[in-house]
Amino acid sequence: MSQSIGIVGAGITGLAIAYVLSPKYNVTIVARDLPGDLGLDWASPWAGAVFHPQKTPNKLWQQMQAACFRFYWALAHDDPSSGVKVYPMTEYFDTVYDESDIWYKSLMPDYRVIPTSELPPRTTFGIKYTTLAMNPLTLLPWLKAKLLAKGVKFIRKEVVSFDEVRTLTNAKLIVNASGVGARKLAGDDSVGPVRGQTMFVKTDFNRLVMKEGTEYTYIIPRAGSGGVIMGGIKSDRLDSEVDVELKRDILMRVNRITNGAFEGLDTSKIEDIVGFRPGRKGGLRVGREGDVVHAYGVEGAGYIYSFGVAEKVKELVGDYAARSKL
């Protein structure tokens, strides 16, 4: 009989973990929010959801990102109905001057450095490559349907302890993919929400453009939606009120890195999106603590790490299962 595993959280990380574990284990997901919900208290439906690798010297984090990219790359080619699509990416920096720290240059297809003469104002370095973007409003329900077909159970409930999850799922081992909820569930005071504000704009603009460093700006097409997500900002504010001045600032920055592609856009006639990313001081936590495997703290990079985190969780679950038989 398959071992039972309980997963807390049905965001992209929890769903990815369930997807990877379900062929071998009896999986139940317990979550307050489920795919199809559009509340602001969870991040996954509102993410820009583009695969742009995160700069990090941490080899494990690099490996998890690479594993995630390979999963999504295969999915984009095997099943376009998933909402995952291939796009050309232009990535600019204003605090990077060469490619010495670009660990993913051998991972991303069609990678090349942009000549300095072609860089827009206020940038110091740029690269191009082919990558992926996901439409969360398509992908999350797609994953839920696949998981239900694999026998994964979903329980809608906001839980206050891992013992409560064990009772609900009849599982001894719990995977904690609760995002911001880990602050209370895991007693991790380094966890907290990070506010993001973006705009959805109807357009036929069909490429990814990002800028990182002192300025964080992006344009991300959403497959099947007829538009793009524009951002961005990271803030400690906890309210959901739209900052009108910020909308104008985002548009100004977007035009600067797209050579004025959205000049004249009326920001009063676009769709505003405010969401809260699951941040953690110190970054991603993936590890086992007794009968709990923790997998949270990716902030805005859930779609970049999710299936790589899931593979690492699978290893930890397998080690636990092997030890419990001794």
* Alpha-carbon distances of 307 from 7, 67, 123, 242, 325, rounded to whole Å: 15, 7, 32, 32, 27
Question: Is 159 labeled as ligand-binding?
Answer: yes
Measured over the CA atoms of residue 21, residue 26, residue 32 and residue 34, the dihedral's sign is positive
- Print the domain residue range for 183: 4-324
**DSSP code string of 78-98:** H-GGGSEEEEEEEEEESS--S
Question: Is 129 labeled as ligand-binding?
Answer: no
Measured over the CA atoms of residue 207, residue 212, residue 218 and residue 223, the dihedral's sign is positive
Residues 95, 111: Cα–Cα separation, whole Å: 20
Per DSSP, the three-state class of 234 is: coil
Question: Is 300 labeled as ligand-binding?
Answer: yes
| Helix 302-324 / helix 12-21 crossing angle, nearest 10 deg | 40
Residues 251, 263: Cα–Cα separation, whole Å: 8
Residues 270, 273: Cα–Cα separation, whole Å: 10
* Alpha-carbon distances of 107 from 103, 122, 236, rounded to whole Å: 8, 27, 33
Check which CATH number belongs to the domain holding 163 and give it: 3.30.9.10
Please report, in tens digits, the pLDDT of each residue of the chain (326 residues total): 589 999 999 999 999 999 999 999 999 999 999 999 988 778 898 888 999 999 999 999 999 999 999 999 999 999 999 999 999 999 999 999 999 999 999 999 999 999 999 999 999 999 999 999 999 999 999 999 999 999 999 999 999 999 999 999 999 999 999 999 999 999 999 999 988 889 999 999 999 999 999 989 999 999 889 999 999 876 677 788 888 889 999 999 999 999 999 999 988 889 998 888 899 999 999 999 999 999 999 998 999 999 999 999 999 999 887 776 64
Q: Count the residues in the chain.
A: 326
Q: What angle do CA 188, 162, 33 make, to 5 degrees?
A: 85
Question: Is 50 labeled as ligand-binding?
Answer: no
**Residue 233 burial class via C-beta count within 10 angstroms: exposed 0-12, middle 13-18, buried 19 and up:** middle
Q: What is the tally of structural domains in the chain?
A: 1
Alpha carbon dihedral 228, 106, 63, 85, in 10-degree steps, equals 30
Residues 169, 154: Cα–Cα separation, whole Å: 10
The whole-angstrom distance between residue 42's C-alpha and the CA centroid of its chain comes to 12
Per DSSP, the three-state class of 326 is: coil
Residues 280, 188: Cα–Cα separation, whole Å: 9
